[in-house]
Amino acid sequence: MAEKSQPQNQKTIPPYMKAISGSLGGVVEASCLQPIDVIKTRLQLDRSGNYKGIIHCGSTIVQNEGVRALWKGLTPFATHLTLKYALRMGSNAVLQSAFKDSETGKLSPQGRLLSGFGAGVLEALIIVTPFEVVKIRLQQQRGLKPELMKYKGPIHCARTVIREEGLRGLWAGATPTVMRNGTNQAAMFTAKNAFDVILWKKHEGDGKVLQPWQSMISGFLAGTAGPVCTGPFDVVKTRLMAQSRSGGELKYKGMFHAISTIYAEEGLLALWKGLLPRLMRIPPGQAIMWAVADQVIGFYERTYMHNAPL
């Protein structure tokens, strides 16, 4: 009976190779798009209306803090993206293998969604939350003089948070982060596969390698839906991560309390603050990441395998 399933047991791209492709894509993405992430964070933390929009925010940062300020938090951001994409791509590949039909070897739409959601939850808990806490604490610091800054760098920031707030401080905002990332990745992996099929007639396992520009278009389109759907989770996540327990009583007690407080004090649209810079960062980021990842996976396939399922 084992011989019957053998044709479906053909060689596949190993999860570790998908993890490597994702991490390389993350390095390139972080270097290109860090300024947009800094602007997004500043806009989300701006309660008094200091910034009039994306361009005004960016120009104000440059005028007051210098051009390098647009790359504040790059070290944790690049490290975070590299590890996040490695875990995301690798765990999604493992979960997809687990959800494939044992008889046909095919993955159902539900299996693809669950694999993406599971990968998003894993990356949120293991990597995204602590790295984004450090990144956001560094980005919200305003001022040119290093001696005036509470946090001197990513390691110092992490140590300070642990000392003042305990280890749990690095996981502030974990709940909305899990919801945001799980939903995002469920949508992203499903949409990327769908756009590859619709636009380029690219099916998993057909051995076809997309051109970088094709991967970028599919990745860009796949990255658009998530930010719109998960905007409130992202705003709440940023607010929860930015507040320090060392300053006394916390303004936001948790995800639902933060949502209701922001809605009551700032209105419904405040829950989508920073949406435009997110749309300026995430879809281009996915375009860059997939352009790199698809080429790395394609190179591995062409070099070591023949018609291996992607």
Tell me if 217 is assigned to some domain: yes
pLDDT at 115: 96
Tell me if 237 is assigned to some domain: yes
How many domains does the chain divide into? 3
Domain holding 187: CATH number?
Answer: 1.50.40.10
Contact by Cβ (8 Å): 193, 202: no
Tell me if 285 is assigned to some domain: yes
Q: What is the pLDDT of residues 6-32, one digit of tens each?
A: 344 456 788 999 999 999 999 899 888
Which residue has better confidence, 144 or 214? 214
Pair 187, 270 in one domain: yes
C-alpha distance from residue 158 to each of 169, 247, 265 (Å): 9, 17, 31
Pair 101, 140 in one domain: yes
Tell me if 6 is assigned to some domain: no
Q: What is the pLDDT of residues 159-205, one digit of tens each?
A: 999 999 999 999 988 999 999 999 999 989 999 999 999 999 987 76
**Euclidean distance between CA atoms 146 and 137, whole angstroms:** 14
The set of residues, in sequence order, having a beta carbon less than 8 Å from that of 196 and lying 6+ positions away, is 202, 203, 210, 218
Pair 135, 241 in one domain: no
Pair 50, 83 in one domain: no
pLDDT at 125: 94
C-alpha distance from residue 216 to each of 112, 185, 191, 219, 280 (Å): 21, 17, 13, 5, 14
Pair 217, 137 in one domain: no
Pair 67, 89 in one domain: no
Pair 135, 215 in one domain: no
Tell me if 2 is assigned to some domain: no
The answer, yes or no, to whether residue 1 has pLDDT greater than 70, is no
* Dihedral, CA of residue 199, residue 33, residue 156 and residue 20, to nearest 10: 40
Q: What is the pLDDT of residues 114-140, one digit of tens each?
A: 999 999 999 999 998 998 898 888 877
The answer, yes or no, to whether residue 53 has pLDDT greater than 90, is no
Pair 194, 267 in one domain: yes
DSSP helix, strand, coil percent of the chain (3-state; round to 5):
75, 0, 25
What range defines the domain where residue 202 resides?
179-296
Pair 121, 157 in one domain: yes
Tell me if 104 is assigned to some domain: yes
